[in-house]
A and B are shown apart, each in its own frame.
Chain A
C-alpha cells in the first residue's frame, strides 16, 4: 500500500521462459584454438517455419535469472513482502518457475499456452498478459530481464510499462528503493543514467545488476511445496493473437573461406576483381 509510510509493500513479477539458443560461432582457423562452445545446437526445421524445439533443453533466460535474484534480494532486505514468479508458455515453463521458487520466490503463476501456439506468442502478447496480471495482483514492481536470448527483442518490459502506463527503468545496473520511489541506474550507450521512478513501475535488468544465486537442491525440494497457479490467457481476458506471421527462418549463410594476399597491390587488385571498389 504505497500510501503508508515505511517500506512499500510490493510484490514483483518476472518474465517468460525462453529456450537457450545457439550463438553461432566461427570455425577456428588454427585447429588448436578452442573458443568456448555454445550450448545445445539449434537446428532450423525442414519446413523453415522455425527452429526445432523438441527435446531441446529449455532453461530460464539469463537476464530473467538476474531479475528473480534482484526480487529475492529486495525481499531479503524486507523492502518487499511477496515475490511472484510468472511465466507464459507451454507446460515446461513450470520447471522454470520451480527454479525461481527455489531461488526464493514465494509463489508462481503459469499462464499456459498450448505448445503448438507457443511460437506465435511474442513480446506484445506477453506484455498484455503481464499487464493484466500486474493489475490483478496489485503489484508495485514488475521486474523482467532486459531481453530474451532467443529472439533478442528487448520489447516486453517496455510494452508492459506502456500498456500499464507505468514508468520504466530499463537496462538497470542498480536498483535502490527510496520510500515510495525507485532509483534506477541504467546502462546506456553514453555511460550511466540515473532515474527516479514513482512506484508502481517496470524495471528490466541488465547483466551487471547482480550475480544470481544457484538453485540448490535443498531449495528445489522446498520449492515443491510452494504453489504454482495455472491459468489461461483467456482467464485474464487477454487475446494472444498476433498480427505478425513468420515468413521463413533460415540458417545464416555458411562462412566462406577467406583469401590471404601478400601485398597491398594484390589487395587492391582483388577488391577491384570482386567489384568492391
Chain B
C-alpha cells in the first residue's frame, strides 16, 4: 500500500496513527519498505559501512597516537583542564602529553555566550591574567532586573546576595576569552588541534574508555567513499576528558553505556538566543521569532535603536542545575563543564563552574597519573576523586543552594511563585531547605499535539531591530563541506512526516534557529517531505533535545565545519 497518509479518509488515518504510535517500531519497518518515504539519512552511524557494498575493499585501518590525557572540546572547561594539567606538570617537573581536539576550525569559533563572567575560577587559574592581556575589559557597573509583560516592565530590586547580583563580574566576549585561553594552553605545551572533531569513543576490552577517534573525511553526501577518503586518527589516553558543552553527542552515548543518569533528573534546557526555555508546550512556538519579538518590547527597543546587527548565533544551555547532574566519572574518562551541566540557572552563569570543574578534574587526574603505587582495576583510569573533590568545592555548594529556584517557577503561581520562593528560601535561608524539587520531565516530552494549541501569529521583522531567519544565519558564518552525509541523522526517516508533522505540525521547522529543517511539498502528489539543510547548522543541539519523537540524532560533521563566531 503506497497511498500517502494525507490522502486517507479521516477515521482510517487516525486509526493508522494510533497503530503507529503504539506499535511504532514494527509499523515503521513495514512502512518504510512499502511507502514512498524518500531516503534522508545516509550517515554511517545509521547505515553501517560494513554492510554497505560501496565500502567493500576500502581500507578502514586507523593510525593511533598515545597520550596521557585527551580532552574533547576546547571551551572554557576543556581549556581550563588542559592548562591546569600542564601547570601541575611544570610545577612537579613531570612530562605529560595532553592532546586537545576541537571541532571548530579555530578555537573560539563555536563559542557563544552572554556572557557575564564570574571571574573567580578564571583568576585562580591565571593569576597574572592582566599582564598577559586576557580580554576581561568590562567590569559590571549596574544591574537591572525586571519582569516583562506585554507592554510594560515591572522592575524588581536586586538585593545584594540575590543570584542575579553581578557585582565583581565582567562582561566578556567569551569567544575571545576562549581564544586567549587557547593561546595560553599552546604556550604551556598542550597539543591543540582545532578542525578535528571527536567522532567516536574507543573502548578497551575491559569496557573502560580507551580514547577517541577523530572524524573520517572524504565521504559523499549519499554515504559512498570519495577518492580522498581517509580514516580519522585514534587518540589513546589513560584518561579522556569529555568537555563537549551542553548536550554533547559523545556524552549522550556515554550516559547510556555507563548508565550515568540512573540517579539524577533528566536534564532540561534553554536555547540561548535570549534564554528561551525549551520546556515550552506549544509546538507552534518559534524561539527565534520570540527573540525577535522580545527586541521590540518598549523597555528593550530603545537600547537597540540606531544599532547595527553584526552577528548572530544560538546554542542550547542546560537549566536543570543540581538535580540533573549525572555521575561524572567512569573507567577511562570523566565529564566536565556544561556537558554534565553546572550552570547556576538563576544567576545565568555556567562558565565559572565549568572552568572550576576543568581545574578540579585536572588536579585529580594528575594525582592519579603521578601516583606510582596506583593499582587500577581497569586499563582506562577511573578518577573517582574528581567527583569527590567537586562535591567538596564551592561549585557544589553554589548549585545546591539555588537548586529549587527554577523548579519553583513551575508551580501554580508560575514565575511569581518562583520569585516568592527565591526571596524566602534563597535570599533569607540560603537554600538550606531540606527538600529538593524535581523537574517536570524531559523537554522533548512537554510538547502538546498541535490540534490542542493555537498557532502563534508573529509580527513581521522590520529589518532594523528584528530580522528574518536566513539573513541572521548568514551572519553566523556557518558552513559545511556540502558533499558529506547530513550530520543531522534520523533513526527512522519516516517519522518526521508521519509523526512530527502529523501530530505536532513539525516543530523542528520552528525550533531550529538556523532553518535546517523544512517541510517541502512533494514533487508529485500531495503531502510533504522533510528537507534537511545540514549546511546551515550552527551546532546548537536544540533539535536533538526538543524533537518530540527523539528521532533526531545530532552527530559531528567533518571537523572545521560549523559556525564561524568571532568573539560571541
Interface residues of A (CB under 8 A from B): 25, 27-28, 31-32, 34, 36-41, 43, 54-57, 59, 211-214, 216-218, 220-221
Pairs A–B under 8 Å by Cβ, sample size 13: A32-B520, A34-B470, A34-B515, A37-B473, A37-B479, A38-B479, A40-B564, A41-B475, A55-B567, A56-B566, A57-B109, A211-B227, A214-B218
| Interface locus among B14-22, B228-236, B278-286, B500-508 | B228-236
- B477 close to A39 (CB less than 8 A): yes
- B520 close to A41 (CB less than 8 A): no
- In the bound complex, how far is the Cα of B191 from the Cα of A214, in angstroms? 20
Q: Nearest chain A CB to B430's CB is how many angstroms away?
A: 41
Check B398 for interface membership: any CB of A closer than 8 A: no
- B217 close to A214 (CB less than 8 A): yes
- A218 close to B566 (CB less than 8 A): no
- Residues of B near A31 (CB, < 8 A) are 468-470
- Residues of A near B176 (CB, < 8 A) are 55
- A57 close to B105 (CB less than 8 A): yes
Check B68 for interface membership: any CB of A closer than 8 A: no
Q: Which residue of A lies closest to B227 (CB)?
A: A211
- Residues of B near A54 (CB, < 8 A) are 566
- In the bound complex, how far is the Cα of B193 from the Cα of A216, in angstroms? 11
- Residues of B near A213 (CB, < 8 A) are 228, 230
Check B435 for interface membership: any CB of A closer than 8 A: no
Q: Nearest chain A CB to B160's CB is how many angstroms away?
A: 36
Interface residues of B in 226-251 (CB under 8 A from A): 226-228, 230, 232-233
- Residues of B near A36 (CB, < 8 A) are 479, 482, 535
- B63 close to A218 (CB less than 8 A): yes
- A218 close to B65 (CB less than 8 A): yes
- In the bound complex, how far is the Cα of B227 from the Cα of A212, in angstroms? 10
Q: Which residue of A lies closest to B63 (CB)?
A: A218
The majority secondary structure among interface residues of chain B is mixed
- B475 close to A216 (CB less than 8 A): no
Cross-chain contact of A32 among B63, B479, B518 (Cβ < 8 A): B518
- In the bound complex, how far is the Cα of B214 from the Cα of A28, in angstroms? 36
Check B179 for interface membership: any CB of A closer than 8 A: yes
Q: Nearest chain B CB to A212's CB is how many angstroms away?
A: 8
Check B533 for interface membership: any CB of A closer than 8 A: yes
Check B536 for interface membership: any CB of A closer than 8 A: yes
- B179 close to A214 (CB less than 8 A): no
Known: A36-B535, A40-B564, A57-B105. A217 touches B474 (CB 8 A): no
- Residues of B near A37 (CB, < 8 A) are 473-474, 477-479, 535-536
Give the number of A-B contacts (CB < 8 Å): 79
- Residues of B near A40 (CB, < 8 A) are 477, 564, 566
Check B404 for interface membership: any CB of A closer than 8 A: no
Check B122 for interface membership: any CB of A closer than 8 A: no
Check B342 for interface membership: any CB of A closer than 8 A: no
- Residues of A near B218 (CB, < 8 A) are 214
Check B471 for interface membership: any CB of A closer than 8 A: yes
What is the 8 Å Cβ interface bit string for chain B, positions 471-494, against chain A (1 contact, 0 not)? 101110111001000000000000
- In the bound complex, how far is the Cα of B473 from the Cα of A25, in angstroms? 12
- Residues of B near A59 (CB, < 8 A) are 105
- B193 close to A220 (CB less than 8 A): yes
The 10 lowest CB-CB distance pairs between A and B, nearest first, are A217-B233, A40-B477, A40-B564, A214-B217, A55-B566, A218-B63, A39-B479, A34-B533, A218-B233, A217-B196
Q: Nearest chain B CB to A251's CB is how many angstroms away?
A: 11
- In the bound complex, how far is the Cα of B226 from the Cα of A54, in angstroms? 35
- In the bound complex, how far is the Cα of B471 from the Cα of A38, in angstroms? 11
Check B1 for interface membership: any CB of A closer than 8 A: no
- In the bound complex, how far is the Cα of B565 from the Cα of A55, in angstroms? 9
Q: Nearest chain A CB to B215's CB is how many angstroms away?
A: 10
- Residues of A near B475 (CB, < 8 A) are 41
Q: Nearest chain A CB to B413's CB is how many angstroms away?
A: 39
Q: Which residue of B lies closest to A42 (CB)?
A: B477
Check B154 for interface membership: any CB of A closer than 8 A: no
A25, A59, A217 — most chain B CB neighbours (10 Å) = A217
Check B374 for interface membership: any CB of A closer than 8 A: no
- In the bound complex, how far is the Cα of B360 from the Cα of A100, in angstroms? 38
- Residues of A near B109 (CB, < 8 A) are 57
- In the bound complex, how far is the Cα of B121 from the Cα of A107, in angstroms? 42
Q: Which residue of A lies closest to B566 (CB)?
A: A55
Known: A34-B536, A36-B535, A55-B176. A41 touches B482 (CB 8 A): no
Q: Which residue of A lies closest to B509 (CB)?
A: A32
- In the bound complex, how far is the Cα of B560 from the Cα of A220, in angstroms? 14
- A57 close to B106 (CB less than 8 A): yes
Known: A55-B567, A213-B228, A217-B232. 18 other contacts (CB 8 A): A27-B471, A31-B470, A36-B479, A36-B482, A37-B473, A38-B477, A41-B477, A41-B564, A55-B108, A55-B176, A56-B566, A57-B105, A211-B227, A211-B228, A214-B217, A214-B218, A216-B233, A220-B193
Q: Nearest chain B CB to A129's CB is how many angstroms away?
A: 26
- B217 close to A216 (CB less than 8 A): yes
Q: Which residue of B lies closest to A211 (CB)?
A: B228
- In the bound complex, how far is the Cα of B228 from the Cα of A36, in angstroms? 23
